[in-house]
Amino acid sequence: MTELKLPSIDYAAIAPILIMLGVALLGVLVEAFVPRRRRHLVQLSLSLLAVLAALVMVVLSADVRRVTAGGALAVDGPTLFLQGTILVLAAMALLLIGERSVERGGAFVAQAAVTAESPDDRQQAEGRNGATEVYPLTSFAIGGMLIFVAANDLLTMFIALEVFSLPLYLLCALARRRRLLSQEAAMKYFLLGAYASAFFLFGVALVYGFTAGIPGRSAGVDFATVHAAVNESPASEVLLFAGMALIAIGLLFKAAAAPFHVWTPDVYQGAPTPVTGFMAACTKVAAFGALLRVFHVAFDQVAWDFTPVLGVVAVLTMLIGAVLAVTQTDIKRLLAYSSIANAGYLLVGVLAPTGAGVSGTMFYLAAYGFSVLAAFAVVTLVRDADGEATHLSRWAGLGRRSPFYAGVFTFILLAFAGIPLTSGFMSKFAVFGPALESGHAWLVVAGVLTSMVLAFPYLRVVVMMWLSEPGESTPTVAVPGGLTATALMIGVAATLILGVLPAPLLDLATDAAAFVR
């Protein structure tokens, strides 16, 4: 009888994942047993404490470099840096999610099952307390993202993809106002996400077939086996390249890269704004963390083959994001196309075959996450009687009505445009520099040109806010609650500090740029 050997697990190294998933399960019990009037405070406190505890464990594991959980998870420099980034940005997002003073009852529907546009829907929009199920859903999503950036085999990566995607599909449908738009956004995200997951899983199957037949090694989808199979497998390379392409489609969908970006503007516009900020910051970190691991660990030996293809995807992403941002009339759709363009810039860093490319990409992810969450925090404050005023025409003259918040938003837009002394400038420098050194000058030229195009819609908003007279339809800026003010302060401060003094975070990213195999 064969003795069953359990895999060794370093519980301390995977403690951040266990904490977030454990608190997510605890949050489900809170929904079942805690009185409704107390759930908001209990759930928000639990979620923030879990994020803080997980972040502490990431810091304590700073020197860990090992593969654990039977080879399913790799705890190394990129894993820890990206997990820390996700947790910090998730804490900011939770502050926005937990805000109840900007809009009475919060940004989320009081009861998810209420029929849109019905009398009950209109009644709940007037101020009933929002659903608190959003907190365990958000905790599940954070836990899935932590697994996603640590996954050391493709099957674990697929499971993590579903763990953080399914809660996001639900969260997108829970907006308090504009319920039909919110539900439409969730449905589009779900259907297109299901297709992307299917592509990813089919790619895993093809790669598994390619790894069969390696002398002295059984077939598998862990990155060490895939890495060895690239040189040693007797199987047809068609399996390898087809599988790699399908896996890339699944990951590029989550990264909002063209031509897999079509869900992004509709979902960003329809989802509750705190959830939009959460996706724009944390989901992008998770997606590019997985892209870095897949293409720098599993498929690095065929970089000569996939770099031109992904390079074309990067240029197309930058071009579509920049050009279509010019035509937008809604601030959330404008930020969505900005996110698409930034995905293209991040791909430039992914394609740099050096450690500097990995560290530059990780720095970019952190810096962009702070800025985009601050931007959506301001969006939540610009309101009228019907809720958030997101049409650009409504922002005309906002600088006269509220010069402080208009100034804050101007600073954030200048950071997005890559103006010096902001984190946006240093981020682009961090990814374009290694790409130029690696001989990818064509990608850098495309990045610089599209950045110039993308500056136009940002500056148009700035001109509209400051040089237009406020009209009767110009909305007011709500006084932020303590949670929103804290998130906004952190985002703006990080955008400024990382532009003026980027060295500490860049050095940290450089030290954490080595993968374990």
Return the structure tokens found at 421.
């002394």
Helix 223-232 vs helix 179-211: crossing angle, to nearest 10: 50
Decide if 399 contacts 466 (C-beta within 8 A). yes
Low-confidence ranges of the chain (pLDDT < 50): none
Q: What is the DSSP string of 333-366?
A: HHHHHHHHHHHHHHHHHHH--SHHHHHHHHHHHH
410 sits in which H/E element: helix 403-416
Q: 382-384 and 73-75: which strand pairing? A: unpaired
Q: 382-384 and 387-388: which strand pairing? A: antiparallel
Report the candidate in 88, 84, 98 with the shortest Cα–Cα distance to residue 42. 98
Tell me the sheet residues that pair with 66: 75
CA distances from 158 to 51, 153, 200, 497 (A): 23, 9, 7, 36
| Buried-exposed string 145-179: b where 16+ CB fall within 10 A, e elsewhere | bbbbbbbbbbebbbebbebbbbbbbbbbbbbbbbb
Cα gap 435→442, rounded to integer Å: 9
Phi/psi at 66 (nearest 5 deg)?
-160, 160
Using the Cα atoms of residue 113, residue 116, residue 121 and residue 124 in order, give the sign of their dihedral. Answer: positive
Decide if 183 contacts 116 (C-beta within 8 A). yes
Q: Is 254 helix (H, G, I), strand (E, B) or coil?
A: helix
Residues 6+ apart with CB under 8 A from 29: none
Q: How crowded is residue 105: how many other Cβ atoms within 10 Å of its Cβ?
A: 18
Decide if 505 contacts 498 (C-beta within 8 A). yes
| Buried-exposed string 485-497: b where 16+ CB fall within 10 A, e elsewhere | bbbbebbbebbbe
> What is the pLDDT at residue 480?
87
Report the candidate in 359, 333, 357 with the shortest Cα–Cα distance to residue 347. 357
> What is the pLDDT at residue 2?
64
Decide if 88 contacts 16 (C-beta within 8 A). no
Tell me the sheet residues that pair with 391: 330
Instruction: Considering only CA atoms, give the Rg of the chain.
Output: 22
Q: 66-68 and 73-75: which strand pairing? A: antiparallel
> What is the pLDDT at residue 380?
92
List the helix and strand counts (H, then E) for the chain.
Answer: 21, 5
Q: How crowded is residue 36: how many other Cβ atoms within 10 Å of its Cβ?
A: 10
> What is the pLDDT at residue 436?
92
